[in-house]
Amino acid sequence: MKVTDLNPQDYFEYYELYLSAVPRNKELLEAYKESGEEVVAFLDSIPEDRWKHRYAAGKWSVAEVVQHVIDTERIFMHRCFRIARGEKANISGFDQDEYIEPSNADSKSAKELIAEYAMTRAYSLSILNSLQAEDFHRKGLASERPLTAGAAAFIVLGHEIWHNNIIKERYLN
């Protein structure tokens, strides 16, 4: 499956922001593997003294942004899995800001966050590998909005690209 296989009815229009960032020519599993390796290399290149940096008052630190990316992947892969398995109940949303403080991201080392990211990506790949092609087209409800399993998986990739670009532009310059 490629992101171009998605239809606008497969996801809430807000997610176009992330989906538009995903390379159009990549198969889903290939994109997950490649981006996982690329993100680990990118995170590993961030100097240790930048991980607690905030580019403005009230903004998350680099560590908190990375934790947010990890947490969002966990949540969206949970959605992907439930929808792929035929879940009919609405899958509740989450308040990203409420997740940051209890995550204790700023108390984790870069090495710990990178390992947590890598483990999360490996788990996501195990879910994706367990699904059949038709599973990605199953539609459910998340936050009271339509969402297919495939769209949930691609949103993870676009969300990650979005935030890594923010880190590059606002935190590392």
The residues that bridge with 146 in the sheet, in sequence order, are: 141
Q: Are 142 and 93 in contact (CB under 8 A)?
A: yes
Average confidence (pLDDT) per 10 residues, the chain, 173 residues? 92 95 94 97 96 95 98 98 97 93 96 98 98 97 97 98 97 90
Q: How many CB atoms neighbour CB 87 within 10 A?
A: 16
Give the per-residue pLDDT at 96. Answer: 94
Q: How many CB atoms neighbour CB 80 within 10 A?
A: 29
Question: Which token pair is 118?
Answer: 């890598």
Q: Are 10 and 139 in contact (CB under 8 A)?
A: yes
**SS3 sequence of 55-103:** CCCCCCCHHHHHHHHHHHHHHHHHHHHHHHCCCCCCECCCCHHHHHHHH
Give the per-residue pLDDT at 90. Answer: 96
Give the per-residue pLDDT at 6. Answer: 93
Question: For the domain bounded by 3-171, which CATH number is listed?
Answer: 1.20.120.450
Give the per-residue pLDDT at 159. Answer: 98
